[in-house]
């Protein structure tokens, strides 16, 4: 049976350097970082990426108070995506709408805060909030979206470490193809900077970025890179089967051409470039494409000394036989590592290239690491290219999870079907 073709028809986001796609894209092209210094409990000041969206745009004060930061991010992004899609929920079967959100971790913020709060009262649990349990269940962000929108179809999260943003889109596409839903929200969210534990964890691994100028702290591929900048954010897409989108005359951002998810089975933290390369190759095969069909490769590179090298090895291995180098960039240099939202946000930053044929750069590369010097890198300034028909988005995570997602132009360029 031929699989349904799946397209993106709406997009909503909040990132450290933008609260909608137009603002986000403009800042990527103008080299504007969203990283600032923040106070981290017990640890002092560290570079981080914080969002400035207005949660009260789509929520009541009471709901913001009862819910979670990740939930507010999710609701904002889902509402923005819904408006962008042009869908009127009042005319839809709400039981046929799904919400599938990737997350890295959830519940740590609420638990840390509650433990800290009761520590001020000699750990008397009568001061522990009765909202704690619904705040910390893993399906909370997607569930909060469902409550806000009134949708009654499946709504849950996909825990996939830092590959989660891609996984939200992949899972939404799968549910549409299975005809479990007719309209889907898919993407990823993160509230990671709200918890000191993730800062402490990366610091203990010698993987937490430090720099006197926070805007220069995230520097993938640069010889002086020294770790991850922890960020929050979200990006949620609306996805539909192609025939449904065309029937209602929807605007289409692109078509999901192929994807792959695999596992390293190697190490808790360290990536495996062979498995990463395998993931990319299988995504290409799934899409019926070759390396020559890909015009932009958005890297996962997190600005860690070893991780960037290993991903560059994987990309070089896959693309070495390409006739001309693909344009290769990185979005984390602007916004840090948005964890569960990373893959979805990084894809969004590149989608406008289908229209303007410009590739946003990786910034903060003052001294390129020779071990990251692979053909096609777009560094420090945007680059205009002749063709953008397909974008390949890498997103990898701890415990060895890898994901690659390929989005192609729709409709296809007449000379590049």
Domain match, 276 and 357 both? yes
Residues 191 and 300 in one domain: no
239 and 262, same domain (yes or no): no
Rg (CA), the chain: 20
Say if 38 falls within a structural domain: yes
Cross-sheet strand order for the sheet of 230-231: 35-40, 44-49, 230-231
For 6-51, strand residue ranges (E) read 6-14, 35-40, 44-49
Query: Is residue 1 very low, low, confident or very high in pLDDT (cuts 50, 70, 90)?
Result: low
pLDDT value, residue 409 = 97
Angle (nearest 5°) at CA 223 between 274 and 208 = 80
Tell whether the model's pLDDT for residue 416 goes beyond 90.
Answer: no
Q: Do 174 and 240 fall within a single domain? A: yes
> Is residue 40 very low, low, confident or very high in pLDDT (cuts 50, 70, 90)?
very high
Pairing of strands 183-190, 97-103: parallel
Decide if 157 is inside a domain.
yes
**330 lies in some domain:** yes
Q: Is position 312 annotated as part of the catalytic site?
A: no
In a domain, 272, yes or no: yes
Please compute the mean of the pLDDT values over residues 309-329 and round it to a whole number: 95
The pTM assigned to this predicted structure is 0.97
**Residue at which a domain ends, from 203, 220, 247:** 247
What is the average per-residue pLDDT within 319-331?
94
pLDDT tens-digit series, residues 228-286 = 999 999 999 999 999 999 999 999 999 999 999 999 999 999 899 999 999 999 999 99
> What is the residue range of 358's domain?
258-408
Active site residue 300: yes
pLDDT at 417 over 60: no
Q: Which of 300, 312, 360, 372 is catalytic?
A: 300
Q: Which of 162, 235, 260, 279 is an active site residue?
A: 162
Q: What is d(CA 92, CA 139) in angstroms, rounded to the nearest whole number?
A: 24
Identify the active-site residue in 106, 337, 360, 372: 337
Q: Which of 207, 224, 247 is the last residue of a domain?
A: 247
**72/203 same-domain check:** yes
> 144 with 11, same domain?
yes
Does some domain include residue 360? yes
Instruction: Say whether both 317 and 394 belong to one domain.
Output: yes
The structural domain count of the chain equals 2
Structure confidence by residue, pLDDT tens digits, 169-205 = 999 999 999 999 999 999 999 999 999 999 999 999 9
CA distance 153 to 96: 5
* pLDDT of the residue at 323: 86
Residue 13 placed within a domain? yes
Residues 93 and 154 reside in one and the same domain: yes
pLDDT of 410 reads 95
With respect to residue 414, please indicate whether it lies within any of the assigned structural domains. no
Same domain, 224 and 275: no
Contact 205, 227 (CB under 8 A): no
**240 occurs within a structural domain:** yes
Write phi, then psi, for 376 (nearest 5 degrees): 100, -5
Model confidence at 321, in pLDDT bands (50, 70, 90)? confident
Give me the residue label for tokens 């991903």. Answer: 311
Q: Are strands 155-159 and 254-263 parallel, antiparallel or unpaired?
A: unpaired
Work out whether strand 155-159 and strand 97-103 pair parallel, antiparallel, or are unpaired.
Answer: parallel
Q: Which of 376, 358, 361, 266 is nearest to 318 (CA)?
A: 376
Mean pLDDT of 216-237: 98
231, 352: one domain: no
Mean pLDDT of all residues in 102-115: 93
Rounded to the nearest 10 degrees, the angle between the axes of helix 196-204 and helix 108-119 is 100
Supply the DSSP string of 57-124, one letter for each residue: GTS-HHHHHHS-HHHHHHHHHHHHHHHHHT--GGGS-GGGEEEEEEES--SHHHHHHHHHHHHTTTT-
Tell me, yes or no, if 106 is annotated catalytic.
no
The verdict on 161 and 291 lying in the same domain is no
Q: Which of 402, 405, 262, 391 is nearest to 328 (CA)?
A: 391
> Domain containing 185 — which CATH number?
3.40.47.10
Of 227, 247, 267, the position where a domain reaches its end is: 247
**What single string gives the DSSP state of each residue in 4-18?**
PPEEEEEEEEEBTTB
Residues 109 and 216 grouped into a single domain = yes
């Amino acid at each position: 049976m031929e699989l349904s073709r799946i397209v993106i028809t709406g997009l909503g986001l909040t990132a450290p350097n933008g609260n909608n796609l137009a603002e986000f894209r403009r800042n990527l092209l103008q080299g504007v970082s969203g990283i600032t210094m923040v106070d981290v409990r017990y640890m002092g000041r560290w570079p981080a990426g914080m969002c400035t969206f207005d949660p009260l745009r789509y929520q009541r004060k009471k709901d913001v108070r009862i819910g979670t930061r990740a939930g507010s991010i999710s609701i904002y992004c889902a509402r923005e995506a819904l408006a962008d899609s042009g869908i009127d929920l009042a005319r839809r079967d709400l039981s046929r709408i799904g919400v599938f959100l990737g997350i890295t971790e959830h519940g740590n913020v609420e638990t840390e805060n509650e433990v800290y709060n009761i520590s001020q009262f000699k750990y008397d649990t009568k001061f522990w909030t009765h909202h704690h349990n619904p705040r910390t269940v893993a399906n909370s962000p997607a569930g909060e979206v469902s409550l806000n929108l009134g949708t009654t179809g499946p709504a849950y999260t996909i825990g996939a470490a830092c590959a989660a943003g891609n996984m939200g889109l992949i899972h939404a596409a799968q549910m549409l193809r299975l005809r479990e839903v007719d309209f889907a929200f898919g993407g990823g969210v993160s509230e990671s900077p709200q918890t000191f534990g993730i800062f402490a964890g990366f610091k203990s691994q010698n993987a937490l970025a430090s720099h006197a100028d926070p805007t220069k702290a995230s520097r993938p591929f640069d010889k002086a890179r020294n770790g991850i900048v922890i960020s929050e954010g979200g990006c949620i897409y609306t996805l539909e089967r192609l025939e449904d989108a065309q029937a209602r005359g929807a605007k289409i951002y692109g078509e999901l051409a192929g994807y792959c998810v695999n596992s390293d089975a190697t190490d808790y933290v360290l990536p495996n470039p062979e498995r990463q390369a395998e993931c990319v190759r299988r995504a290409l095969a799934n899409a019926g494409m070759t390396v020559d069909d890909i015009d932009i490769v958005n890297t996962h590179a997190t600005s860690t000394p070893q991780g960037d090298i290993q991903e560059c090895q994987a990309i070089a291995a896959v693309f070495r036989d390409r006739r001309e180098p693909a344009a290769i960039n990185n979005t984390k240099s602007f916004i840090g590592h948005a964890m569960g939202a990373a893959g979805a946000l990084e894809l969004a930053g590149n989608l406008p290239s289908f229209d303007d044929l410009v590739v946003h750069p990786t910034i903060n590369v003052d001294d390129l690491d020779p071990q990251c010097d692979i053909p096609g890198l777009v560094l420090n300034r945007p680059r205009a290219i002749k063709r953008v028909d397909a974008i390949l988005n890498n997103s990898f995570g701890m415990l060895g999870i890898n994901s690659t997602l390929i989005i192609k132009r729709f409709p296809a360029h007449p000379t590049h079907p």
